[in-house]
């Protein structure tokens, strides 16, 4: 569902340490960053390649490619151009370079396609496009027909990407807050799986069924119990999650927290038991 990332080898700057032999090794002068940048002859490589290569190597290498990206902006390169995989530079960028591209007018490929469907608009977090689709009669509960998206509704997409404002808008527009994907995953469980605690709390407050099970019989508490996110587990418990809900194999959230001692201790504190313990007790 997410954009394909291509790994391209990093530029490596070579240096030379002191020789351990009695005869001194020939002196090797370090490569100056400005000379390396000159060798690249920016913007002779594409904006996409510059973004990709900026993600690997040392801070010096990153700055070289960052400067090339700035030069692309200076000469008027289209920051929303697509590569052969349908990706924009922003799709490929990370950290401060992503921030720079965004501030320079760069968009994700999904954002650029937001007018095509309500699902793409929701995925992009494009509020105006979502409203436009709804005003044109789009079904707020329609499942995404792209087989890579598991039958997500617009609300699933908004929950997956953490678009809080859009979640509220979509729910208030009549979305089924407990709609299930092809794998019987709800928007709530989607947000839980992504560790988006603010979106989880919002969905619960808007009426999501906290104990809804997916195709494996997992509730939100099952999903969060081996995540290492104890604050998320605390939230679900505080909101009334069934501490001993069992999945299709009879396992509880405590079974899932086997390798997360702080979480397993918390579950125990609130009466959590393993599936085996419940079975032994006749439950």
CB 246 within 8 A of CB 256: no
Q: Same structural domain for residues 138 and 213?
A: yes
Q: What are phi and psi of 10, to 5 degrees?
A: -80, 155
Pairwise CA distance, residues 271 & 142, whole Å:
39
Q: Same structural domain for residues 202 and 268?
A: yes
Helix, strand, coil share of the chain (percent; to 5): 45, 0, 55
Q: What is the largest CA-CA distance in the chain?
A: 82
Give me the percent of the chain exceeding a pLDDT of 90: 70
Decide if 27 is inside a domain.
no
For residues 175 and 110, the model is more confident at 175
Q: Same structural domain for residues 76 and 216?
A: no
pLDDT band for position 4 (50/70/90)? very low
With tokens 């908004």, the residue in question is 158
Q: What is the pLDDT of residue 31?
A: 36
Q: Same structural domain for residues 129 and 261?
A: yes
Nearest to 90 by CA among 68, 112, 74: 112
Average pLDDT over residues 255-263: 95
Q: Same structural domain for residues 60 and 97?
A: yes
Could you give the number of structural domains in the chain?
Answer: 2
Q: What is the pLDDT of residue 283?
A: 76
Domain that holds residue 53: 33-109
Decide if 197 is inside a domain.
yes
Give Cα 256 to chain centroid, integer Å.
23
Q: Same structural domain for residues 241 and 181?
A: yes
SS3 12: coil
Decide if 4 is inside a domain.
no
Decide if 15 is inside a domain.
no
For residues 16 and 134, the model is more confident at 134
Residue 126 tokens, joined: 């494009």
CB 223 within 8 A of CB 191: no
Average pLDDT over residues 56-76: 89
In terms of pTM, does the model score above 0.85?
no
Pairwise CA distance, residues 42 & 110, whole Å:
28
Q: What is the pLDDT of residue 15?
A: 38
The answer to whether residue 6 scores a pLDDT higher than 70 is no
Q: What is the CATH number of the domain that holds 90?
A: 1.25.40
Last residue of a domain, one of 74, 109, 144: 109
Q: What is the mean pLDDT of the chain?
A: 86
Q: Same structural domain for residues 149 and 232?
A: yes
CB 232 within 8 A of CB 224: yes
pLDDT band for position 149 (50/70/90)? confident
Decide if 237 is inside a domain.
yes
Q: What is the CATH number of the domain that holds 179?
A: 1.25.40.20
Q: Same structural domain for residues 251 and 162?
A: yes
Q: What is the pLDDT of residue 189?
A: 97
Nearest to 152 by CA among 109, 173, 121: 121
Residue 106 to residues 48, 110, 118, 150, 167: CA-CA distances in angstroms? 12, 12, 21, 28, 24
Sign of the C-alpha dihedral, residues 246, 210, 154, 106? negative
Instruction: Please tell me what DSSP assigns to residue 138.
Output: -
Q: Same structural domain for residues 46 and 165?
A: no
Decide if 24 is inside a domain.
no
Q: Same structural domain for residues 101 and 143?
A: no
Decide if 12 is inside a domain.
no
Last residue of a domain, one of 59, 81, 109: 109
Query: Helix and strand tally (H, E) in the chain?
Result: 17, 0
What residue spans of 125-274 are helical by DSSP H? 127-135, 154-161, 164-172, 187-193, 197-205, 220-225, 230-238, 253-256, 261-269
In tens, the pLDDT along 223-242 reads 999 888 999 999 999 999 99
CB 123 within 8 A of CB 103: no
Cβ count near 116 (within 10 Å): 12
Q: Same structural domain for residues 88 and 151?
A: no
Q: Same structural domain for residues 197 and 69?
A: no
The answer to whether residue 14 scores a pLDDT higher than 90 is no
Last residue of a domain, one of 93, 109, 125: 109
Decide if 11 is inside a domain.
no
In tens, the pLDDT along 19-54 reads 333 333 334 333 344 434 444 454 778 999 999 999
């Amino acid at each position: 569902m997410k954009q394909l990332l291509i790994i391209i080898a990093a530029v490596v700057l070579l240096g030379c340490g002191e020789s351990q032999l009695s005869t001194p090794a020939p002196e090797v002068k370090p490569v100056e960053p400005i000379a390396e940048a000159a060798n690249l002859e920016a913007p002779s490589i594409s904006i996409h390649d510059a973004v990709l290569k900026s993600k690997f190597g040392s801070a010096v290498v990153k700055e070289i490619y960052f400067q090339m990206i700035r030069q692309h902006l200076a000469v008027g390169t289209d920051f929303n151009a697509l590569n052969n995989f349908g990706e924009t530079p922003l799709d490929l960028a990370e950290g401060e370079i992503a921030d720079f591209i965004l501030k320079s007018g760069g968009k994700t490929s999904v954002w650029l396609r937001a007018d095509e469907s309500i699902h793409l608009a929701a995925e992009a977090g494009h509020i105006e496009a979502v409203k436009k689709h709804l005003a044109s009669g789009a079904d707020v509960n329609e499942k995404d027909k792209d087989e890579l998206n598991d039958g997500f509704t617009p609300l699933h997409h908004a929950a997956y990407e953490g678009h809080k404002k859009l979640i509220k808008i979509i729910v208030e527009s009549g979305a089924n807050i407990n709609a299930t994907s092809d794998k019987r995953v709800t928007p709530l469980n989607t947000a839980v799986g992504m560790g988006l605690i603010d979106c989880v709390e919002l969905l619960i407050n808007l009426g999501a069924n906290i104990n809804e099970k997916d195709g494996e019989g997992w509730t939100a508490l099952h999903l969060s119990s081996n995540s290492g996110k104890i604050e998320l587990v605390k939230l679900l418990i505080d909101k009334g999650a069934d501490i001993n809900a069992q999945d299709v194999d009879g396992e509880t959230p405590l079974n899932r927290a086997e390798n997360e001692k702080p979480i397993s201790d918390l579950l125990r504190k609130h009466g959590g038991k393993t599936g085996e313990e419940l079975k032994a007790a006749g439950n």
